[in-house]
Chains A and B, each alone.
Chain A
Amino acid sequence: MAVKSKSSTKSPALGSHDGQRNPGMLLDLDLIEGISINRSAVERRASTMGKRRSVKKEWQAAWLLKAVTCIDLTTLAGDDTASNVARLCAKAQQPVRQDLLEALGMSDTAITVGAVCVYHNLIRTAKEALKGTNIPIAAVSTGFPAAQNTQAQKLNEIRSSVRAGAREIDIVVSRGKVLNGDWKGLYHEVQAFREACGEAHMKTILATGELSTLTNVAKASQVCMMAGADFIKTSTGKESVNAVMPVGITMVRAIRDYYQLTGFKVGFKPAGGIRKAKEALEWLILIKEELGDEWLGPHLFRFGASSLLGDIERQLEHFVTGSYSAAYRHPMS
């Protein structure tokens, strides 16, 4: 059953602030070459991120609801069909049980996820299922996840997804260009993607688990932003290491540097492996601490996740009832 969409909040423009998207800038190779990230120091910061701050009770409930609104509810499987994608879209519109929202005093606030994220083939299904809502469809693109096809094929894929109705395109970069230090090549590749996206917003997946060093992560982040990324995203979810805190710290610091350099705010999307409500809080703390409150919303922050929502729902019910919850008490996607 499709849930009626609520009229209140308009879905904010992705990766923008004050209506302005990151236009990119000329590639500054000196800046890129000057980047060096100290892994041990970053790991030390990462290890205390969730220990220096603690969000409890009402604050925890509110923060978890915020996390829900930032989720790109995702299914990217070989066996995806219209039926499970439709279910996902239904869940996207009503991610938290209505009675829980009422108990939290949030029934008059539209709580939906940030977007629904699917493969190209399922865009039309999703579009149908989300009709009448403001929830954007994100499509993974450019030879996701490995990016091992031609640039022409990649550009075609973007264009056809946009035509099919995707308002957000999650592109993957060519890891080989990063590993070989071909920053110019990466810049032009991503710039072309951005152009192909047109009005659709572009999330740039770095596949950090395959970039070898944090220095590479920082350099690739910076190049992608210079090339006009609206968001930078950690992972496809298919690498062996996905969204981990040291990578997150490195990327948000790159976003901060880019903002200080250009005045444009680029969004951040950790994806892959984030399954627990507690982890979601740690990522939100990271954003608040390193980037600031302006980034704490779906226009500049997303989780790429499929099972995170379930744990958040259970924690919210625990807050409301005082009893530990169970998965079957919450509608599945």
Chain B
Amino acid sequence: MNVKTIFENMTYGPAPESAQNAEQWIESHQKKFQLFIGGQWHKPSSKKYLQSVNPATEERLARIAWGGKKDVDHAVKAAKKALPGWSGLSGHQRARYLYAIARQFQKNSRLFAVLESLDNGKTIRETRDIDIPLVTRHFYYHAGWAQLQDKELADFQEVGVVGQIIPWNFPLMMLAWKIAPAIAMGNTVVLKPAELTSLTALLFAEICQQAGLPKGVVNIVTGAGDTGALLVDHPLVNKVAFTGSTRVGRIIRTNIAGSGKKVSLELGGKSPFMVFDDADLDSVVEGVVDAIWFNQGQVCCAGSRLLVQESVAKKLYKKIRARMEKLRVGSSLDKSVDIGAIVSPMQLNTIETLVKKGVEEGGTLWQPSWACPSDGFFYPPSLFTDVSPSSTIAQVEIFGPVLVAMTFRTHQEAVKLANNTRYGLAASIWTENINLALDIAPKVKAGSVWINCTNVFDAASGFGGYRESGFGREGGKEGLYEYLKPKLKLSDKPVKRAVSRRVAKSNGSLKIDRTAKMYIGGKQARPDGGYSLPVLNPGGVQIGEVGDGNRKDIRNAVEAAHSGAKWRNMSGHARAQVIYYLAENLEARKEEFIQRLVNMNGLTPAESQLEVELSIDRLFTYAAYADKYDGLVHNTLFRNVTLAMPEAIGVMALVCPQEFPLLGFISTVIPLIAMGNTVVVVPSEVAPLCATDFYQVMDTSDVPAGTINIVTGNQQALSEVLSSHFDVDGMWYFGTSDGSKVVEDAAAENMKRTWVNYGKFRDWRDSKQGCGEEFLRQATQIKNIWIPYGA
């Protein structure tokens, strides 16, 4: 086109970024890539290769090795071999390597950006301005944590060999989010990139070589889903970190249930984008662009559900449509393109199918008047209005540039709609009223809440989900714990305690106690089934009876726990007052509890006294923590306050340790409630009477109804019900090894957070094993709230 014509019609022209260097790099490998294991390139034992395609042109880019069983085994063993050397380095020495990697990223930033665009189809603007800078930042940030580890995280150690599986939507960024914290904390890794987008991971492998990273610290095994499954299942893997679909996350969790492998899952989402009537609507429109037309909408935390206050909906839709008309779809390497290519024909097909379904179900579809390029896999930005929460497209993650809009009338309804989803990854709140914004933010179930912004990330802030969006955080100090474990030596056998030689051999001197009822919703409750279980002392003499709880008792207890709103809304200080009161009243009945332990467990009076006194001590500890375990304000990149708030998980199920009938109960129930959870607790099955005695303490200590609900009975049976209960948000289990597996397996369905003991025993008297921040961390999840400011 000549200058004159352009002068007259003022169009945009092509603005291509050169692919030359990236193509040369691919060429220099003869368009064929091997596996990076133990610092060297190895051909796959399977001799098979996958084809990598440029989704914007459908051009074949390279062939990628398909790792098989032998290869995965080789890589895991290489990581295992490298582990002692790597974790043995000082934090400072590891920091130097991470720093060197970050420098390499900086020096090769454009090559990475172009290669990522070629391989994934995302626009060069995004890889250049968002992905690669975040990758570099992640390594710098975690170089810092490696440096500080010895000082700041002295009670923790590395987990070991980590198997990491990442998705195709942010290939390099997800690599950085996985590898940087893992190796910073002294772990070694085997990473499996997504089969569609492995190239930047392979370039990263070369960077590791250039940075002189010790062999085997990072291993890259490319391949398909079966390669990932082999990695997850490998017995030498100590931790699995996965980002991807909820479906696959569930399979992974089920497969490793009970194995003792640590796991973090970052899964799908259907994040609400909430617009209140006083929002700056033009800014909202750009927010929508960043929310759902970022990375073609292939973003797990995409703001894909637009919830608009009814009074401004029409106006906003009009503005959004006008903006959509101006979006440009096209070649990923064109610098004037907003939306690049969909990663694969399969994904394109998924999007098309769901959009079709949306239309069939009565949604009104709007797409811009212009057409997408015909070569390559493209899909236009799309807006659905007239959608109800029951529509498929309002529930299912589309993972494409498709926005689904609904309206709300009141703030309460907005929150209800926002939380009417199985997911809980992110939320965006748009209002000019800070009171409203900060009212809504804690009410939305999501790991990241963005106020008047969206899809902003930084290494200093933890990212991760609630509910079926998975668990664990990536980034921030909170993210480090995913790659650490406490330096504790837990025993395979119960702790030896001082037992009295004179255990009552008959109940002649003991009168049979009343049958202890359950405690549900602040009231004593008879067991639904109408059965009782005998409680025997170590001599086999019946000293009492408790209700034999069944699934209906659990159902009732969970409902009661959900109605315990009073407790959840109390301030930390107010909760502390109640917990101190519990301590006070336990102190008043100290002799009675000592006697109970002597009679029920046959402990010496001195050992019994110690257990009761430590229980009081622990109540004090968690009362103290109730208003002190608070969050952080993260130091993120742009002008905003990023609040990392520990929030109660919600309704927690708890299966107490069998031993330590009082101290085990107190040491697990109290940290949970101190953080604002309500609990359904199954006390020690063999020695439940301390727990049932305790409700009399609760009754006199102003504990609101529904805060602590006690169901006695068979721990195994009850934990099965609890772990598969969809309305239980999290579960702690201190029982058997088999029981741990059952819990983890069942919890995979609704992705509840679990903390199980794999049959190991704690000495609950020990202040490190029986008490501390680990309990509080497990009782909470971190929500990051981003609050930009400026007038």
Q: Are B6 and A63 in contact (CB under 8 A)?
A: yes
Q: Which of A41, A61, A214, A284 contacts B788 (CB under 8 A)?
A: A41
Give min CB distance, A283 to chain B, whole Å. 13
Q: Closest B residue to A216 by CB, please name it.
A: B791
Q: Are B3 and A104 in contact (CB under 8 A)?
A: yes
Q: Are A58 and B278 in contact (CB under 8 A)?
A: no
Q: Which of B278, B326, B338 contacts A36 (CB under 8 A)?
A: B278
Taking CB atoms and an 8 Å cut-off, the chain B residues in 1-56 that contact chain A are 1-7, 9-15
Q: Are A59 and B6 in contact (CB under 8 A)?
A: yes
Does A53 interact with chain B (Cβ within 8 Å)?
Answer: yes
Whole-angstrom distance between the alpha carbons of A42 and B285 in the complex? 11
Does A57 interact with chain B (Cβ within 8 Å)?
Answer: yes
Does A55 interact with chain B (Cβ within 8 Å)?
Answer: yes
Whole-angstrom distance between the alpha carbons of A284 and B11 in the complex? 11
Q: Which A residues are CB-close (under 8 A) to B125?
A: 48, 51-52
Q: Closest B residue to A101 by CB, please name it.
A: B3
Whole-angstrom distance between the alpha carbons of A66 and B8 in the complex? 9
Q: Are B3 and A37 in contact (CB under 8 A)?
A: no
Q: Which of B4, B336, B453 contacts A109 (CB under 8 A)?
A: B4
Q: Are A41 and B280 in contact (CB under 8 A)?
A: yes
Q: Which B residues are CB-close (under 8 A) to A43?
A: 790
Does A56 interact with chain B (Cβ within 8 Å)?
Answer: yes
Q: Beta-carbon contacts of A182-213 to B below 8 Å, as 1s and 0s?
A: 00000000000000000000000000000011
Taking CB atoms and an 8 Å cut-off, the chain A residues in 21-51 that contact chain B are 36-45, 48, 51
Q: How many residue pairs at the A-B interface have CB separations less than 8 Å?
A: 103
Select the residue from A37, A43, A54 with max chain B CB neighbours within 10 A.
A54
Does A215 interact with chain B (Cβ within 8 Å)?
Answer: yes
Does B552 interact with chain A (Cβ within 8 Å)?
Answer: no
Q: Are A65 and B7 in contact (CB under 8 A)?
A: yes
Known contacts A56-B13, A59-B13, A289-B326; is-contact A37 B283 (Cβ 8 Å): yes
Q: Closest B residue to A43 by CB, please name it.
A: B790
Q: Which of A52, A109, A253 contacts B282 (CB under 8 A)?
A: A253
Q: Which of B2, B4, B640 contacts A40 (CB under 8 A)?
A: B640
Known contacts A38-B452, A40-B453, A53-B336; is-contact A215 B791 (Cβ 8 Å): yes
Q: Beta-carbon contacts of B770-791 to A below 8 Å, as 1s and 0s?
A: 0000000000000000001111
Whole-angstrom distance between the alpha carbons of A57 and B7 in the complex? 13
Q: Which A residues are CB-close (under 8 A) to B791?
A: 39, 212-215
Q: Which B residues are CB-close (under 8 A) to A59?
A: 1, 6, 11-13
Whole-angstrom distance between the alpha carbons of A41 and B791 in the complex? 11
Q: Which of A36, A65, A293, A296 contacts B3 (CB under 8 A)?
A: A65
Known contacts A40-B789, A104-B3; is-contact A51 B129 (Cβ 8 Å): yes
Q: Which A residues are CB-close (under 8 A) to B11?
A: 59
Q: Are A40 and B788 in contact (CB under 8 A)?
A: yes
Known contacts A39-B790, A45-B283; is-contact A57 B13 (Cβ 8 Å): yes
Q: Which of B3, B283, B290 contacts A42 (CB under 8 A)?
A: B283
Does A106 interact with chain B (Cβ within 8 Å)?
Answer: yes
Q: Are A66 and B13 in contact (CB under 8 A)?
A: no
Q: Beta-carbon contacts of A259-288 to B below 8 Å, as 1s and 0s?
A: 000000000000000000000000010001
Q: Which A residues are CB-close (under 8 A) to B7?
A: 62, 65-66, 106, 109
Does B432 interact with chain A (Cβ within 8 Å)?
Answer: yes
Does A105 interact with chain B (Cβ within 8 Å)?
Answer: yes
Q: Which of B335, B789, B790 contacts A54 (CB under 8 A)?
A: B335
Whole-angstrom distance between the alpha carbons of A56 and B17 in the complex? 11
Known contacts A214-B791, A215-B791; is-contact A41 B453 (Cβ 8 Å): yes
Q: Which B residues are CB-close (under 8 A) to A40?
A: 452-453, 638-640, 788-790
Does B630 interact with chain A (Cβ within 8 Å)?
Answer: no
Whole-angstrom distance between the alpha carbons of A213 and B4 in the complex? 41
Whole-angstrom distance between the alpha carbons of A37 and B335 in the complex? 29
Taking CB atoms and an 8 Å cut-off, the chain B residues in 580-634 that contact chain A are none
Q: Which A residues are CB-close (under 8 A) to B326?
A: 289
Does B286 interact with chain A (Cβ within 8 Å)?
Answer: yes
| Interface bracket on B | 35 or more
Taking CB atoms and an 8 Å cut-off, the chain A residues in 54-94 that contact chain B are 54-59, 61-63, 65-66
Whole-angstrom distance between the alpha carbons of A40 and B789 in the complex? 6
Does B287 interact with chain A (Cβ within 8 Å)?
Answer: yes
Q: Which B residues are CB-close (under 8 A) to A288?
A: 10
Whole-angstrom distance between the alpha carbons of A289 and B640 in the complex? 27
Q: Are A37 and B280 in contact (CB under 8 A)?
A: yes
Whole-angstrom distance between the alpha carbons of A39 and B453 in the complex? 11
Q: Which B residues are CB-close (under 8 A) to A36?
A: 278, 280, 432
Q: Closest B residue to A246 by CB, please name it.
A: B790
Q: Which B residues are CB-close (under 8 A) to A39?
A: 790-791
Known contacts A54-B15, A55-B15, A214-B791; is-contact A41 B286 (Cβ 8 Å): yes
Q: Are A54 and B336 in contact (CB under 8 A)?
A: yes
Give min CB distance, A306 to chain B, whole Å. 23
Q: Are B432 and A41 in contact (CB under 8 A)?
A: no
Q: Are A58 and B283 in contact (CB under 8 A)?
A: no
Taking CB atoms and an 8 Å cut-off, the chain B residues in 312-338 that contact chain A are 326, 335-336, 338
Give min CB distance, B12 to chain A, whole Å. 6
Q: Are A44 and B453 in contact (CB under 8 A)?
A: yes
Q: Which B residues are CB-close (under 8 A) to A57?
A: 13
Whole-angstrom distance between the alpha carbons of A108 and B13 in the complex? 23
Q: Are A38 and B6 in contact (CB under 8 A)?
A: no
Q: Which A residues are CB-close (under 8 A) to B790?
A: 39-40, 43
Known contacts A40-B790, A52-B336; is-contact A66 B10 (Cβ 8 Å): yes
Give min CB distance, B340 to chain A, whole Å. 13
Select the residue from B9, B279, B283, B789 with max chain A CB neighbours within 10 A.
B283
Q: Are B13 and A55 in contact (CB under 8 A)?
A: yes
Q: Which B residues are CB-close (under 8 A) to A38?
A: 279-280, 283, 432, 452
Q: Which B residues are CB-close (under 8 A) to A253?
A: 282
Whole-angstrom distance between the alpha carbons of A188 and B685 in the complex? 83
Whole-angstrom distance between the alpha carbons of A105 and B4 in the complex? 7
Known contacts A40-B790, A41-B287; is-contact A58 B2 (Cβ 8 Å): yes
Q: Closest B residue to A254 by CB, please name it.
A: B282
Q: Closest A residue to B788 by CB, please name it.
A: A40
Whole-angstrom distance between the alpha carbons of A138 and B336 in the complex? 36
Whole-angstrom distance between the alpha carbons of A207 and B790 in the complex? 19
Known contacts A38-B432, A214-B791; is-contact A53 B280 (Cβ 8 Å): no
Whole-angstrom distance between the alpha carbons of A212 and B788 in the complex? 18
Q: Closest A residue to B1 by CB, please name it.
A: A58
Q: Which B residues are CB-close (under 8 A) to A42?
A: 280, 283
Q: Which A residues are CB-close (under 8 A) to B12?
A: 53, 55, 59
Whole-angstrom distance between the alpha carbons of A145 and B743 in the complex? 74
Taking CB atoms and an 8 Å cut-off, the chain B residues in 338-367 that contact chain A are 338
Give min CB distance, A258 to chain B, whole Å. 13
Q: Closest B residue to A288 by CB, please name it.
A: B10
Q: Which B residues are CB-close (under 8 A) to A289?
A: 326
Known contacts A39-B790, A289-B326; is-contact A62 B452 (Cβ 8 Å): no
Whole-angstrom distance between the alpha carbons of A54 and B639 in the complex? 27
Give min CB distance, A99 to chain B, whole Å. 14
The 4 closest A-B pairs by CB, nearest first: A40-B788, A41-B283, A62-B6, A59-B13
Given A44-B286, A289-B326, output 20 extra A-B contacts at Cβ < 8 Å.
A36-B278, A38-B279, A41-B286, A43-B790, A44-B290, A45-B286, A52-B338, A53-B15, A53-B335, A54-B15, A55-B12, A55-B336, A58-B2, A61-B3, A61-B6, A62-B3, A63-B10, A66-B10, A109-B7, A215-B791
Identify 22 residue pairs between A and B in the complex whose beta-carbon atoms are under 8 Å apart, listed by A's number: A38-B452, A40-B639, A40-B789, A41-B788, A51-B129, A54-B335, A55-B12, A55-B15, A56-B13, A58-B3, A58-B13, A61-B3, A62-B3, A62-B6, A62-B7, A65-B3, A105-B3, A212-B791, A213-B791, A215-B791, A289-B326, A293-B9
**B-binding residues in A (CB < 8 A):** 36-45, 48, 51-59, 61-63, 65-66, 104-106, 109, 212-215, 253, 284, 288-289, 293, 296
